[in-house]
Amino acid sequence: MRERLATANRWVIKVGSSLLTANGQGLDHALIGKWTEQIASLLEEGCEVILVSSGSIAEGMVRLGWAKRPAALHELQAAAAVGQMGLIQAYESGFKRFGRKTAQVLLTHEDLANRARYLNARATLNSLLKYEVLPIVNENDTVTTDEIHLGDNDTLAALVANLIEADVLVLLTDQKGLYNKDPRKHNDATLLERANASDPSIRELAGPSGTQLGRGGMSTKVLAAERAAKSGCTTIIASGVEPDVLLRLKKGEAIGTMLTSEQAPEAARKRWLSNQLRSKGQLILDKGAATRIRQGTSSLLAVGVLDCIGSFERGELVSCVDEQRNEIARGLINYSASETKLIKGKTSEQFADILGYISEAELLHRDNMIVTS
């Protein structure tokens, strides 16, 4: 299986905060220099690379003299604004040594949740790759709010991998990979060389973040691998301090943990739907509707909806749950929340009498819906 990396063309490489910031003493320029050299070699071999980098808040904290990560959103945004300058300057200088052009790309959840902006982001990244420019991607921490926050750069890296249909996603961290036990607590912990990204038991092996600087931990990396697998992307979790880690991975060497999935890649539109992190509301389905939706061959009709929760407009993402509130599916709804509350439990033939018009016969069409359980 490792041999597939030798022929992988599109790479998304994510570097975590704990690696970048030299134990809270500022950016580790020596390590950045090693990564830029390795990435430049990948580019020289004809690979296309997108770098997703954490570190702006951590670097900003150092520049501002803060020892502890602040909780207030405006302070985090201030740190990100300060730190982004040093972070990009370090990468720009590093790649300039090898004659490589770079571009900064800042994204938010809102950019990727909106279909038009999602497609625009994909077109932009593909254009940069076409012109042999290395995109350096980060979440736009200076403007994000809790409502549009992605949460961590592992998630962002997986979304970018799906966005451009990458062949491989490399998550560089301060751990050697995924273990069968927490290596910080168990001396007999064994590194897993390979695992199924869709295996629920794998999530249980991952623990929380081990540092105050990073938002992500091993659990977010496992979830990122599961998300990336939706486009057929292979994920590698490996140590960023391993000598020539990227070049050795390219040669097929068994470093870190490889996470793959046997499931067929999803179609582009379905993949975009599955990557949406937040729904605007919930539709509670009766038993019959829940069964039909789980089978994955039926659209959702209003007659099978028991209740509608939340505030949403037509075309926004909603979750479908059973009577026990277990999520079954999610999709783009054809009616607003106020309209849905009026037509829930009704047949489509009754829509015109209730609403004065009929837009679509279905609340959610199966082409705009994915089954989640």
Ramachandran category for residue 9: left, alpha or beta (phi over 0 → left; psi -120 to 50 → alpha): alpha
Looking at the chain, the domain(s) classified CATH 2.30.130.10 span 279-371
Q: What is the CATH number of domain 279-371?
A: 2.30.130.10
Residue 247 exposure: Cα atoms within 13 Å on the Cβ side: 14
Strand 327-332 and strand 317-321: the pairing is antiparallel
* 35-56: pLDDT as tens digits: 999 999 999 999 999 999 988 8
Structure tokens at 218: 């091993």
Looking at the chain, the domain(s) classified CATH 3.40.1160.10 span 2-271
What does the pLDDT read at residue 214?
A: 43
What does the pLDDT read at residue 147?
A: 42
What does the pLDDT read at residue 207?
A: 55
Burial class (CB in 10 A: 0-12, 13-18, 19+), 355: middle
Torsion sign over Cα 269, 271, 274, 279? negative
d(CA 129, CA 110): 23
* 341-358: pLDDT as tens digits: 999 999 999 999 999 988
Asked if 369 and 328 count as a contact pair (C-beta separation under 8 A), the reply is no
What does the pLDDT read at residue 148?
A: 37
135-149, 186-200, 217-231, 315-329: the lowest-pLDDT one: 135-149
* Percent of the chain topping pLDDT 70: 92
- Give me the CATH topology for the region 2-271: Carbamate kinase (3.40.1160)
What does the pLDDT read at residue 23?
A: 66
Helix 115-130 × helix 153-164 angle, to 10°: 80
pLDDT value at 150 more than 70: no
